[in-house]
A and B are shown apart, each in its own frame.
Chain A
Amino acid sequence: MYKIAVLGDYDSIYGFATLGLSICPVKTREEASDMFRQLAAGEKYGVIYVTESVAAQLGEEIEKYREQTFPAIIQIPGVSGNTGAGVENVKKTVEQAVGSDILFSAE
């Protein structure tokens, strides 16, 4: 039985608490990477939603979990707006699989 965690700045994620997701508000980059390591290393969380701005700071640490089945690390837009990093990530997997982005390059 897993739980779902949401990692990001408080304003972006406080709403998720009402749905029963665990929220982990972070402010600084150090806090974010500490918290992320804790969440990802423990077996407790099956899905970790990370706001795009925090994900940009974490960078390589997220890449490490790319090839593992659990946890799934999914980027979501924060309150400050959509940076397009999530969509960019999907395009990156297409590039990895096909060799070039044949599906979404026109958009």
Chain B
Amino acid sequence: MASTQVNPTRMELTRLKKKRITAVRGHKLLKDKRDELMRQYLDLVRENMEVRKRVEAGILSANKNFVIAKAGMSEAELHTALLAPKQEINLVAGQRNVMSVDVPTFEYKTRTADENDIYSYGFAFTSSDLDGAVKSLADILPDMIRLAEIEKSCQLMAAEIEKTRRRVNALEHVIIPETEKNIKYITMKLDENERSTQIRLMKVKDMMLAEAHGY
């Protein structure tokens, strides 16, 4: 017996059959989507880990350089040196569509054309360690932007994969079996009705024959 009440009619049967076809097709499409997303995601997440490790190591060594630079100068001098940044970064953000997931793409433009234009101070009153520290930080900036792009993409794709997987499972294990059960129930019920009509007609015929000819 079907868990939900269905009307055993021919119209309902046609409707359910259509529903089953749609569900099976949707299931196949979603499954393909999930597989392709997963393939791209796995490539991306490996790169994500790599870039992240590189950025973390880079920031760590840059921080070390800054500590050394700080040790060689007075705090006030350091603050003054870094007070007014010369460079400015503008981020041009776009969107890329990966299997219906909008992932961001980042490109950056520096305000001045020379990307080495990062020293916002005269070299006379600062220690040379500071130059090195600033440079080491500037070197990892492209990686950091790339990291932002990849990591965000990974997060978005992971969410989409989870959603798609749930949909695939719901179709595969709930919607499709239930529809098939209902279709079977209706077919059997209709057959049963047909048989009972047949028997009734035969019975009526027997009765009529007995009345007319005395069989």
Q: Which chain A residues have a beta carbon within 8 Å of chain B's beta carbons?
A: 1-4, 12, 14-21, 46-47, 49, 66-67, 69-70, 72, 74, 76-79, 81-82, 86-87, 89-90, 93-94, 96-99, 103-104
Task: State whether the Cβ of B144 lies closer than 8 Å to any Cβ in chain A.
Answer: yes
B13 to chain A, nearest CB (A): 38
B18 to chain A, nearest CB (A): 33
B141 contacts across to A, CB distance below 8 A: 19
A contact face: mostly helix, strand, loop, or mixed: mixed
Contact with A along B112-150 (1 / 0, CB 8 A): 000000111000000000000110011001001101110
Q: Is the CB of B49 within 8 A of A72?
A: no
Q: Is the CB of B56 within 8 A of A18?
A: no
Task: State whether the Cβ of B171 lies closer than 8 Å to any Cβ in chain A.
Answer: no
Kindly state the separation between the CA atoms of A93 and B48 in the bound complex, as whole angstroms: 11
Task: State whether the Cβ of B161 lies closer than 8 Å to any Cβ in chain A.
Answer: yes
Q: Is the CB of B62 within 8 A of A15?
A: yes
B137 contacts across to A, CB distance below 8 A: 15-16, 18-19
One of A14, A19, A69 near B104 (C-beta < 8 A): A69
Do A46 and B110 contact each other (CB < 8 Å), given the known contacts A90-B52, A97-B38? no
A46 to chain B, nearest CB (A): 5
Q: Is the CB of A47 within 8 A of B133?
A: no
B45 contacts across to A, CB distance below 8 A: 90, 93-94, 97, 103
B111 to chain A, nearest CB (A): 7
Q: Tell me the count of chain B residues lying within 8 A, CB to CB, of chain A.
A: 59
**Residue in chain A with minimal CB distance to B79:** A14
Kindly state the separation between the CA atoms of A35 and B102 in the bound complex, as whole angstroms: 27
B86 contacts across to A, CB distance below 8 A: 18, 20
Kindly state the separation between the CA atoms of A95 and B159 in the bound complex, as whole angstroms: 11
Task: State whether the Cβ of B167 lies closer than 8 Å to any Cβ in chain A.
Answer: no
Identify 7 new A-B residue pairs, CB closer than 8 A, beyond the known A20-B110, A46-B106, A47-B91: A15-B133, A16-B137, A18-B138, A20-B89, A66-B159, A69-B102, A90-B49
A47 contacts across to B, CB distance below 8 A: 91, 106, 145, 148
Kindly state the separation between the CA atoms of A12 and B41 in the bound complex, as whole angstroms: 32
Do A69 and B92 contact each other (CB < 8 Å), given the known contacts A74-B147, A90-B48, A93-B45? no
Q: Is the CB of A77 within 8 A of B60?
A: yes
A18 contacts across to B, CB distance below 8 A: 82, 85-87, 118-120, 134, 137-138
Q: Is the CB of A76 within 8 A of B144?
A: yes
Q: Is the CB of B59 within 8 A of A76?
A: yes
Task: State whether the Cβ of B152 lies closer than 8 Å to any Cβ in chain A.
Answer: yes
**Residue in chain A with minimal CB distance to B133:** A15
Q: Is the CB of A74 within 8 A of B148?
A: yes
Do A96 and B158 contact each other (CB < 8 Å), given the known contacts A15-B133, A16-B137? yes
A86 contacts across to B, CB distance below 8 A: 52, 56
B104 contacts across to A, CB distance below 8 A: 46, 69-70, 72
Kindly state the separation between the CA atoms of A69 and B62 in the bound complex, as whole angstroms: 29
